[in-house]
Amino acid sequence: MTQHKSKDVRRQQLILATMASIAQHGLHNTTIVTISNHAGMSSGIISHYFGGKQGLINATVRHLFDQLKQALLSRLSQGSLSPRERLLMIVEANFTQVQRSLPATKTWISFWEQSMHEPVLARLQRVNHRRLHSNLSHGFGLLMPRHQARQLASQTAAMIDGFWLRSALSPDPQQAFSQAEVLCKAFIENLLMQYGENGCPKQ
């Protein structure tokens, strides 16, 4: 293994260890020591690769964003898709097994909480929100005027985020996530039935 690949592997291991530590201890009780214990590496390597705990937390959040982005891209690359199919794929990408996993859900929830106090995380949260809204706006925009598409995108984004959070906090998250995905898709289907291609409510 080359030195560059070895570095990438260690960085990935530390990111996964961070998620495991957050799932077990919570963000506030996650330390360089708990992360290094999960990774089976010395604590000094975290500072070497990430500059400290906060740098590693930021990298972990970016990893989750990348997983979300790749899940969507893999679905959208399946050939010619209708606008309806594109919109449903966006929902699917937000409810993959990766995004449903305990380490991911604990990390996302901790990230949202901490983003209210940490400027870097707050910026990442805004980027993530804009990405979701933009993807939905594009999908709806293939069927209706831009102003209507943006309005429906805002509603759908709120629906996805709300159902995801409710599912993550549910006593039975896996069942709740499955139901949430169905309900979010049904919400989109209802919007497309309600609004014609000109974006006006059907009479």
The pLDDT tens digits of the residues spanning 148-165 come to: 999 999 999 999 999 999
Percentage of the chain exceeding pLDDT 70: 94
DSSP one-letter code for 96: S
Does residue 34 lie within any of the structural domains? no
Q: Is 75 helix (H, G, I), strand (E, B) or coil?
A: helix
Does residue 45 lie within any of the structural domains? no
Residue length of the chain: 203
Q: Could you tell me the CATH number of the domain that includes residue 125?
A: 1.10.357.10
Quote the pLDDT of residue 4: 60
For the chain, what is the domain count? 1
19 vs 108: CA distance, rounded Å:
9
Does residue 119 lie within any of the structural domains? yes
Phi, psi angle pair for 195, to nearest 5°: -110, 130
Does the pLDDT value for residue 52 go beyond 80?
yes
19 vs 106: CA distance, rounded Å:
8
Does the pLDDT value for residue 199 go beyond 80?
no
Does residue 18 lie within any of the structural domains? no
74 vs 3: CA distance, rounded Å:
29
What average pLDDT does range 71-99 have in this prediction? Answer: 93
Nearest to 91 by CA among 144, 126, 149, 136: 136
Does residue 108 lie within any of the structural domains? yes
Does residue 54 lie within any of the structural domains? no
What pTM does this model have?
0.87
Does residue 133 lie within any of the structural domains? yes
Which residues, 6 or more positions from 42, have their beta carbon under 8 angstroms from its beta carbon? 36
What average pLDDT does range 14-41 have in this prediction? Answer: 93
Does the pLDDT value for residue 5 go beyond 70?
no
Structural domain span for residue 96:
60-194
Does residue 49 lie within any of the structural domains? no
Choose between 114 and 195: higher pLDDT: 114
Does the pLDDT value for residue 106 go beyond 90?
yes
In 2-52, where does DSSP find H-type helix? 3-25, 32-39, 44-50
Does the pLDDT value for residue 201 go beyond 70?
no
